[in-house]
């Protein structure tokens, strides 16, 4: 009897420890949010997303990681070194196709979509002194095209190509992140910066407040030539200090990406909490105003994660 009691107690203790272990496993749901440079749009949005997930997903521990953005994020997701990341639509397409020139040595087959979010606008801003008004005027001038192999820099290459130009046409080519590009223009060491970002990006706001600038136009024909995921778009007058008129340019969708090893439940929650806490995202950066549930599953160059798919089906979107 005594032995049976002992066995019973041991079994009880074991069941208890198993119960605790499964709770501990639940409490250890780790979500690393991959973003971009701290002066871009991905970082404040990613920091807010990490906060939302930490508060709303039961047992989730979150972290936000500043990276070189799209290309690095996609490679990290393929390696399982992050659970969700921001990336530009054309970088995602290149990753899925395994485009080595774009920085993907093989097809990143584990990538899965969570949501198409807001468009990036190609924003080319030059100092007034440079005399640059439209894209063709960049010939012989100094331009920063973004960090090497970043989503911005891949965009730049494609636009130059569509315009029948290349970096060789520039007087000076710099491969710098947004913040550093702006510092060089302020110091009169560079004429212009090309940034692929949400409207009202902090780096360009800062530049426009520091010295007179021109927002440089890109013709709509470039979007037609490049095709999806590029679209013709407009930077509305007043987006930046001293910008008195609308400026034509290109836009391209940003995508929140996860990978196939993330559980269906986590992917479901990551999708759900994004859309159910949009006001918090808008509070973090105005670019989030363009995020909508209706467009979440549209135009993705990769398959949706089954967890995300479940959420869209529940909401009648799919």
Number of domains in the chain: 2
Of the three residues 252, 268, 285, the one that is the final residue of a domain is 252
Helices (H), 28-163: 42-56, 70-78, 89-97, 151-162
pLDDT of the residue at 1: 46
Same-domain status, 142 and 238: yes
Same-domain status, 168 and 282: no
10 Å CB burial of residue 37 (0-12, 13-18, 19+) is: buried
The answer to whether residue 275 sits within a structural domain is: yes
Same-domain status, 99 and 207: no
**pLDDT tens-place string over residues 264-274:** 999 999 999 99
In the numeric block, which tokens belong to residue 19? 């119960």
Same-domain status, 243 and 295: no
CATH number for 205 = 3.40.190.10
Of the three residues 220, 252, 284, the one that is the final residue of a domain is 252
**pLDDT tens-place string over residues 88-107:** 999 999 999 999 988 899 99
Same-domain status, 132 and 229: yes
Same-domain status, 202 and 84: no
Domain of 157, in residue numbers: 120-252
Q: What is the pTM of this model?
A: 0.77
The answer to whether residue 136 sits within a structural domain is: yes
Task: State the chain's mean pLDDT as an integer.
Answer: 91
**pLDDT tens-place string over residues 200-223:** 899 999 999 999 999 999 999 999
* Cα–Cα distances in angstroms (integers) from residue 251 to residues 57, 65, 206, 220, 231, in the given order: 32, 25, 22, 10, 5
Q: Do residues 88 and 230 make contact, with C-beta atoms less than 8 angstroms apart?
A: no
Same-domain status, 219 and 270: no
% of the chain beyond a pLDDT of 90: 83
pLDDT of the residue at 228: 76
Same-domain status, 107 and 69: yes
The answer to whether residue 51 sits within a structural domain is: yes
- What is residue 213's three-state secondary structure? strand
Same-domain status, 299 and 151: no
Rounded to whole angstroms, how far apart are CA atoms 294 and 315? 10
**pLDDT tens-place string over residues 243-269:** 999 999 999 999 999 999 999 999 999
Of the three residues 252, 277, 293, the one that is the final residue of a domain is 252
């Amino acid at each position: 009897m005594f032995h049976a009691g002992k066995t019973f107690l041991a079994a009880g203790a074991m069941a208890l420890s198993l119960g605790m272990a499964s709770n501990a496993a639940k409490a250890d749901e780790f979500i690393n949010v991959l973003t971009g440079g701290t002066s871009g749009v991905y970082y404040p949005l990613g920091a807010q997303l990490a906060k939302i997930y930490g508060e709303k997903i039961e047992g989730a521990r979150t972290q936000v990681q500043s990276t070189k953005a799209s290309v690095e994020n996609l490679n990290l997701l393929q390696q399982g070194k992050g659970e969700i990341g921001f990336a530009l639509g054309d970088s995602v397409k290149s990753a899925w196709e395994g485009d080595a020139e774009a920085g993907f040595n093989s097809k990143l087959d584990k990538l899965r979509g969570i949501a198409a979010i807001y468009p990036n606008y190609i924003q080319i801003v030059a100092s007034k002194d440079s005399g640059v008004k439209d894209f063709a005027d960049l010939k012989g001038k100094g331009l920063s095209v973004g960090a090497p192999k970043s989503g911005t820099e891949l965009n730049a290459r494609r636009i130059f190509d569509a315009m029948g130009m290349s970096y060789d046409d520039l007087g000076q080519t710099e491969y710098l992140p947004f913040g550093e590009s702006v510092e060089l223009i302020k110091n009169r060491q560079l004429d212009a910066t090309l940034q692929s970002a949400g409207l009202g990006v902090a780096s360009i706001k800062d530049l426009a407040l520091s010295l007179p600038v021109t927002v440089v136009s890109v013709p709509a024909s470039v979007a037609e030539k490049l095709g999806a995921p590029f679209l013709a778009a407009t930077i509305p007058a007043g987006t930046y200090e001293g910008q008195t008129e609308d400026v034509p340019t290109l836009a391209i969708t940003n995508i929140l990406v996860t990978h196939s090893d993330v559980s269906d439940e986590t992917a479901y929650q990551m999708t759900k909490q994004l859309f159910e806490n949009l006001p918090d995202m808008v509070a973090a950066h105005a670019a989030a105003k363009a995020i909508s549930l209706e467009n979440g599953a549209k135009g993705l160059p990769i398959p949706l994660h089954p967890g995300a798919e479940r959420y869209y089906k529940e909401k009648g979107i799919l």
